[in-house]
Amino acid sequence: MSDATDPWLIVGLGNPGPEYAANRHNVGFMVADLLAERIGGKFKRAQKAQAQVVEGRMGPPGPENRRVILARPMSYMNLSGGPVTALRDFYRVPTDHIVAIHDELDIDYGALRLKLGGGDNGHNGLKSMTKAMGADYHRVRFGIGRPPGRMQVADFVLKDFSSAERKELGYLVDRAADSVECLLAEGLERAQSAYNS
């Protein structure tokens, strides 16, 4: 069982490489980048995993201040479980102190849902993580909506956000980062009531 002194591993899911940087599938990376900026860190290559990491502290001074490892797996989305498990083991993070930030097709664009455990809903990054270490980790689900018309899901998630979506994207990424900070400082129920939409 975890306690307040255990570190948190915050994982932004996405694909490495500039050609994927602005894709809907990479919104997890976008939120992780903002969180890294907030704690004043820069991503660097992890020693023990195929990932980039930033170590630091998050939250107000005092008992709510948490030790965090922010991570971006560099293995491509479908293989996220390996790097995340390696980081979990290296930093000795309890599974319930892991947070995966990811795109979610079944939620309207920009809406957030935070939860602990559950299925993968066809998301290959979550599928890989759950296969590697079980399902008892937190998720911050960032809604991207369903593909229009007959567009294939794989094509939709690997496309950049539309110009209309990009107008709000900065605000929405900011709100998702806020929800992660709230989860760590105040717990899941408080974060859900403040941010779930």
Q: Are 101 and 54 in contact (CB under 8 A)?
A: no
Query: SS3 for 43?
Result: coil
Rounded to the nearest angstrom, the gap between the alpha carbon of residue 17 and the centroid of all alpha carbons in its chain is 17
* Catalytic residue of the set 25, 102, 123, 138: 25
Q: Are 21 and 191 in contact (CB under 8 A)?
A: no
**Closest of 101, 91, 108, 92 to residue 123, by C-alpha:** 101
Whether 97 is catalytic is no
- Element spanning 84, H or E: helix 81-91
Q: How big is the chain, counted in residues? A: 197
Active site residues: 25
